[in-house]
Chains A and B, each alone.
Chain A
Amino acid sequence: MKQNKIHNIKETGFKVPKDYFKNLEDVILSDIKLKSTTDDSGFKAPEDYFNTLERKILDKISENDNPKVIPLFSKKNLIYISSIAAAVLLLFNLSIFEKELTWDDLDINTVENYIINENIGTYDIASLLINEELKEEDFINYSLNDEHLETYLMDNLDIENLIIE
């Protein structure tokens, strides 16, 4: 039984990334080709640079170990702090945090009441409209079909009237 199970395993389970073999020639060749041109960057370090480096760095560290003491309430700091405080105060006074109103914030009732209470007549409203914005089509509906027109005339007009006229 155990023997059989082993015989049944045909795959090793190992996988290669997609396109690995397809690109392998390219990958190896371009690397070799580039290395054959040069594998040195051409950068040089000054002579003795590395010999003196430890000394230089350790000197710098011991310099940094005794930092300068800067008093907290120096004149310079006071000016800084008071100017920051002034700026913050100014910021709140300018009320830039208040939300700006837009036309959408008005509800219809308010507008309606306003028009009624302020005695705004049709002429006032009409004067707000620009000629270019107005078209005849805004007021007259042309979508009458012949059948409706005919019925209307038949029902509402009699021939006598037309003749009189």
Chain B
Amino acid sequence: MIDEIQLIEQLKSEPKKEQAFRTLITLYKERLYWHIRHIVKSHDDTDDVLQNTFIKVYKNIHKFKGDSKLFSWMYRIATNESITFINKNAKRLQITNEEVQQFAINNLTSDVYFEGDAIQLKLQEAIATLPEKQQLVFNMKYFEDIKYKDMSEILETSEGALKASYHIAVKKIEAYLTKD
């Protein structure tokens, strides 16, 4: 495991930047991929957002002050990029963000990269009914197993509020799954 501080230093120095950046991608690509995938749902959209996220990291690394962890800084960029992506789609199609999500869920059945069964599809439907923030918290806790402490840095929300959000989300989803 490479020291984070050392990696940041290399990222900021011109000669080692590219090599360090390659290491950074290798370290975080899968975690960030799944984080984005759970928000935007389709693989192709995730690929776009993930690449944009890393490009943004590369271009803005000199602005990274180190007052949060590099990991949470990158997650924050990925989250913002995903939400911006959904907003842009909503604007382009002139529908609401919720409708964009509903659209993405409806497309899952024909998505070759979604191998979920009926329950998993229903779970995705249930998640899509939640408000944006609760969706984020639920996905991050349930599928990505991110600690509340880290989540609090990424989403800039108190741990208590995140826990409450998560439990509300779990209850709503359970109610949705046992509805009929």
Binding site for B on A (CB under 8 A): 17, 23, 26-27, 30-31, 33-35, 37-46, 49-50, 53-54, 56-58, 60-61, 64
Which of A23, A31, A61 is in CB contact (< 8 Å) with B55?
Answer: A61
Which A residues are CB-close (under 8 A) to B54?
57
Q: Looking at the complex, which one of A26, A27, A39, A42 makes contact with B116 (CB distance below 8 Å)?
A: A42
Q: Which residues of A contact B12 (CB under 8 A)?
A: none
Number of cross-chain contacts by CB at 8 Å: 90
Which residues of the other chain, A, contact B123 by a CB distance below 8 angstroms? 37-38, 41-42
Q: Could you tell me if B26 and A54 are in contact, using CB atoms closer than 8 angstroms? A: yes
Assess A34 versus B177: contact at CB under 8 Å? Given A39-B142, A43-B113, A61-B58.
yes
B116 touches A43 (CB 8 A): yes
Q: Is B64 an interface residue (CB 8 A)?
A: no
Q: Does B79 reach chain A (CB closer than 8 Å)? A: no
- Chain A contact surface mostly: helix
Chain A CB within 8 A of B147 CB: no
A-contact bits for B137-175, CB 8 A (1 contact / 0 none): 001001100000000000000001000000100110110
Give the chain A neighbours of B38 by CB distance below 8 A.
Answer: 41, 43
B105-132 vs A, CB cutoff 8 Å, 1 = contact: the mask equals: 0000000011111011101100000000
| Candidates B18, B142, B167, B174; contact of A58 at CB < 8 Å | B18
Q: Are B115 and A42 in contact (CB under 8 A)?
A: yes
User: Across the interface, which residues of A come within 8 angstroms of B170, CB to CB?
Assistant: 27, 30-31, 34
A42 touches B124 (CB 8 A): yes
Report if B33 contacts A (CB, 8 A).
yes
How close is A150's CB to chain B, nearest CB, in angstroms?
A: 77
Cα A46 to Cα B115 with chains together (Å): 12
